[in-house]
Structure 1
Amino acid sequence: MTIDSIWSYPPDSGHVEGRDLTGYGVVGTDGTLGHVEREDGHHGMWHLVVDTGVWLFGRSAVVPVGVVTSVDEAERKISVACTVDEVKEAPRFRTDSETMDPDYLTAVADYYRRLIPHGTTTA
């Protein structure tokens, strides 16, 4: 079975399995994106649902955990390897059911994979 690394935290990110990231701030390479609403992993496709608040672009966004560059527990902050505009341009997240839709999540992965190249590993 092939596992796409876009859905896995990078080993050097500081992520600790089982840690609840709800409420952590999310920061892009050029500014604040919002905070983690929740972490989901349907079909093995782990991602963060980020509430961007009305001041940014007034919606939530789905961000694959493979773009996480660091998790700072002391600061309760997650840094990602993309800009605010790149997250804004990602496939639009409209309903919670999309986080369970493999087709939607594949579109999200394809988008972020173009921004941040990731290989695959086998398990």
Structure 2
Amino acid sequence: MTDKSLWAYGDTSGHAAGAMLSGYKVEALDGSIGKVDKHSDELGSAWIVVDTGVWIFGKEVLLPAGTVTRIDPDERVVRLNRTKEEIRSAPEFVRERHLEDLEYRRMLSGHYGSPQA
């Protein structure tokens, strides 16, 4: 997976530009990880922020849109092609720097760069 495709929703994800994903349940390959807190549709820089709640003690994680395999608007579920452990071990989400910090984006690209499913 290239850096460009990692930061874009796949053609078969079911993503619709402008869709409101906040509040959708998020499912990793091996179970639920939380709910979408916020998201971006920006071309070449799309992502979702997941509030993991008690699963990782209230941690938020930023996931590149390329990790999304399917969005189901009827069930309000976002499905990912990553495991809970891959998400748990991701670089810490820092709300103040995620939009502007290229080094943070590189760390995430390195962590999520190869699809596991």
Alignment of 1:1-123 (within 5 A): 4-40=4-40, 44-53=44-53, 55-58=54-57, 59-114=59-114, 116=115
Code of the aligned partner of 2:79 = S
**Structure with the larger helix share:** 1
TM-score normalised by length of structure 1: 0.84
State the alpha-carbon separation in 2 of the partners of residues 69 and 6 from structure 1: 11
How many residues are matched?
114
State the alpha-carbon separation in 2 of the partners of residues 15 and 40 from structure 1: 11
Q: More displaced, 62-71 or 94-103?
A: 94-103
Contact 2:35 2:50 in 1 (8 A): yes
Larger relative contact order (C-alpha < 8 A, sep ≥ 6)?
Answer: 1
**Large movers: runs of 4+ above 2 Å:** 40-44, 94-100
3-state SS of the aligned residue for 2:63?
strand
State the alpha-carbon separation in 2 of the partners of residues 101 and 23 from structure 1: 26
TM-score normalised by length of structure 2: 0.88
| Offset of residue 64 of structure 1 | 0.5
State the alpha-carbon separation in 2 of the partners of residues 37 and 106 from structure 1: 22
Code of the aligned partner of 1:6 = L
For residues 55-77 of structure 1, give each alpha carbon's deviation from its aligned partner in whole angstroms, at most 9, with x where no partner exists: 21120001000011100000000
Q: Percent identity?
A: 32
3-state SS of the aligned residue for 1:5?
helix
Root mean square deviation of aligned Cα: 2.0
| Offset of residue 38 of structure 1 | 0.4
Gaps of 5+ in 2: none
